[in-house]
Amino acid sequence: MSNINICRENTDPFYRYKMPAIQSKTEGRGNGIKTAVMNTAEVARALGRPPAYIIKYFGFELGAQTSINESTDRYLVNGVHDSNKLQDTLDGFINKFVLCGSCKNPETDIIITKDGNLIRDCKACGQRTDIDPRHKLASYILKNPPESAKSSKKKKAATASANVVGGGVSISDLASGKKKESSSNGNENENDEGADSDDDALTRKINAEASNLPDAQPIADDDWAVDVSEEAVRRRAQELENLNLNDQKSEFDQLGEWLLESEDKDDLPSDVEIYKKAVDLDIVDDEKTVQVLAQVLFDEDIVDEIEQHQGLLSKLITSPAHEKAFLGGLERFLGLDHPELLPQISKVLLKVYESDLASEAVIIDWGSKISKKYVSKDISKKVKKAAKPFVKWLEEAEEESDDE
């Protein structure tokens, strides 16, 4: 596909700044339908911006959930959005976050100022123009700065090091920990020489001093070494794991907390709203979703409530893995949250069986094994013991069927 002008208002066919046109593909169906932006990386490269910025902008402007996986180059926007619609939306991103506000040239970098503002630094005209901080993408950029902003401190440090070397402190002196007093007798006009001559002088100085490095005092290992013992590595891994757990809540936690916000079961969202929430969180097909629902949808009237939510649960439970996860959620609900309801477990399982939410084979397999997958072994043992009469009834019914 031929390239188009980055600034589409400029119709000059010889306009030098080009980008690929957006290519999209619709995936899935029903409430789980998504639009994959096929060439996000190529477009982002032409604009000089991270691909995540473009997809997040689409999500904010179109009011849709997004999915970003840079390692696999896969970028999704929930819903159906054709290429023309995405291209028009991209024009807004280009005007607000790429083009210079003064000369409309796309050769800009995003810079984060000390006071937390975003500006576009234009390499063509030298102007610095503000980015609207009220846009949601501006907040996202502040939390996920571009590489140019991340590396600015490193560049300053490298420049400072170069100034020290040029100021009369030798490399061997730096390695040995010695310091020389900078000379003030240099000619100020030396700074007016060409860049090539400065580079040559610095190169000659480095090469000359490099010969002294083997004789320099080595830096003590204790000053920079990282503890790589097994215990230290395990401790750092645990710290990172705890950090991730504290900073991010999974989609399943979000679904559970959203449902638990209701003061009582009468205030619960409708089954349609619950299904839409699972779609928005992109967990509608995951078996963990029904495990969460089994723990938060019910109360003391669980037998009647299973029937009330049968439509929702039937739509979500689509495989034996989902059936096992649903029974695991009930195991947690009855064994941990409401052990007083354990005497009713046969009625609960009968309703699950009659509602086709779990097959005969899955219920027998679940009830015949003590497992610590969902609860502790002690709790699992109590739940399975209470469920034994119903499981035995199913086994006998299965044997009679086989005999017939």
Q: Which region holds residue 351: left if phi is over 0, alpha if psi is between -120 and 50, else beta?
A: alpha
- According to DSSP, residue 67 is labeled E
CA distance 131 to 116: 11
Residue 27: helix, strand or coil by DSSP?
strand
Q: Are the C-beta atoms of 96 and 82 separated by less than 8 Å?
A: no
Q: What is the pLDDT of residue 283?
A: 92
Q: Please, what are the domains in the chain? A: 3-146 (3.30.30.170), 249-403 (1.25.40.180)
Is residue 327 within 8 A of residue 366, CB to CB? The reply is yes
Angstrom distance (rounded) from CA 183 to CA 290: 75
Q: Following DSSP, what letter does each residue of 340-381 receive, concatenated? A: GGGGGHHHHHHHHHHTTSS-HHHHHHHHT----SSS-HHHHH
Question: Would you give the distance in Å from CA 8 to the centre of its chain?
Answer: 32
Q: In a structure prediction context, what are the per-residue pLDDT tens digits for the chain, which is 404 residues long?
A: 578 999 998 888 888 899 999 999 999 888 889 999 999 999 999 999 999 999 999 999 999 999 999 889 999 999 999 999 999 999 999 999 999 999 999 999 999 998 889 999 999 999 999 999 999 999 999 999 987 655 544 444 444 444 444 444 444 444 444 444 444 444 444 444 444 444 556 666 666 666 555 544 444 444 445 555 667 667 766 666 554 444 456 888 888 888 887 656 667 788 898 999 889 899 989 999 999 999 988 888 899 889 989 999 999 999 999 999 999 999 999 998 888 999 999 999 999 999 999 998 999 999 988 988 888 888 999 999 999 999 999 888 766 655 55
Hey, is 101 helix, strand or coil? coil
State pTM to two decimals.
Answer: 0.41
